């Protein structure tokens, strides 16, 4: 269903130009987003979805106020030259997409920061009360990473979360897994993928450490209102201004199914 609030029909550009804009946003965001690769995504439900309904509190007499978890709106603007767009539509000369890419990457970074750290009343993967915790060793020795991950899986298993699991690591920790074992023709990353069978991901949103997550929407998910979409704002001098926007919220149901790897 077309979103009339994005004003795309008001833009003086052709469908093939919209196609370039949409594909570029997706490609740029994929290089940044980690939360969506780890969590079940519920939606998109549309821009009009502003909150997730939560269970009513148990009250005997007083009026009952329904609880909700608000979705967060993320938006960034960018502008492209009219002459550049016209040259593309007339002669096929590809226009400079760097402003679009920069806006898409910024939105993706804001999304992952929301998924991992939460906002206001929304818990993130790092901020849910009741999460399990394992202290990481320095990983200076080959094999130390696997021992730490085994500790985290054992902790989750003891808490009643028996897998499968996925793992997100800060870039510095992830890169250490590229080392190969002295014996055998395989890396630490290949070894750990046999434990975290739902995926091992590099998460730029993590400054250090990592997260082991028991996979499944019963633990955590992302509720998506509007997916990352380009909209039209209007002319500004010799340029056309656009927006990239989305709405979402992390929905953490069982923080006990999350194990924080603390560095």
Residues 27, 59: Cα–Cα separation, whole Å: 49
Residue-level pLDDT at 185: 84
Q: Which residues of the chain have pLDDT under 50?
A: none
8-state DSSP, 151: H
Residue-level pLDDT at 42: 97
Residue-level pLDDT at 63: 74
Where in the chain are the domains?
4-54+68-124+221-250, 132-219+258-262
At the top level of CATH, the class of 4-54+68-124+221-250 is alpha beta
Instruction: Convert the pLDDT of each residue in 106-147 to its tens digit.
Output: 999 999 999 999 998 899 999 989 999 999 999 999 999 999
Q: In which residue are the tokens 């992830």 written?
A: 174
Residues 232, 239: Cα–Cα separation, whole Å: 12
* Of the candidates 168, 173, 170, the residue with the CA atom closest to the CA atom of residue 145: 173
H or E, element range at 153: helix 144-158
**Six token digits for residue 70:** 């608000």
* Of the candidates 61, 93, 33, the residue with the CA atom closest to the CA atom of residue 228: 33
Calculate the CA 195 to chain-centre distance. Answer: 22
Q: Which architecture, in CATH terms, is 132-219+258-262?
A: 2-Layer Sandwich (3.30)
Residues 17, 262: Cα–Cα separation, whole Å: 46
Residue-level pLDDT at 180: 93
Residues 13, 59: Cα–Cα separation, whole Å: 56
Residue-level pLDDT at 59: 67
Residues 140, 57: Cα–Cα separation, whole Å: 49
Residue-level pLDDT at 67: 85
* pTM confidence score: 0.92
């Amino acid at each position: 269903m077309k979103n009339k609030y994005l004003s795309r029909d008001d833009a003086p550009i052709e469908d093939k130009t919209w196609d370039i804009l949409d594909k570029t946003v997706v490609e740029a965001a994929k290089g940044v987003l980690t939360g969506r690769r780890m969590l079940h995504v519920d939606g998109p439900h549309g821009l009009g979805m502003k909150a997730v309904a939560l269970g009513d509190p148990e009250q005997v007499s007083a009026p009952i106020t329904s609880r909700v978890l608000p979705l967060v709106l993320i938006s960034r603007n960018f502008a492209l030259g009219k002459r550049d767009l016209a040259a593309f539509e007339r002669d096929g000369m590809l226009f400079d997409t760097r402003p679009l890419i920069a806006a898409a990457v910024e939105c993706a970074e804001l999304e992952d920061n929301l998924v991992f750290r939460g906002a206001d009343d929304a818990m993130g993967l790092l901020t849910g009360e009741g999460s399990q915790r394992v202290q990481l060793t320095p990983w200076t020795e080959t094999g130390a990473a696997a021992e730490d991950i085994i500790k985290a899986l054992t902790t989750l298993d003891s808490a009643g979360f028996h897998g499968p699991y996925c793992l997100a690591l800060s870039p510095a920790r992830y890169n250490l897994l590229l080392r190969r074992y002295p014996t055998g023709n395989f890396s630490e990353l290949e070894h750990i993928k046999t434990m975290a069978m739902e995926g091992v991901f590099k998460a730029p949103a993590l400054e250090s450490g990592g997260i082991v997550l028991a996979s499944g929407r019963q633990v955590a998910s992302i509720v998506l209102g509007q997916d990352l979409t380009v909209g039209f704002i209007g002319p500004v001098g010799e340029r056309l201004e656009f927006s990239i926007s989305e709405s979402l919220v992390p929905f953490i149901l069982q923080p006990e199914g999350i194990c924080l790897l603390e560095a």
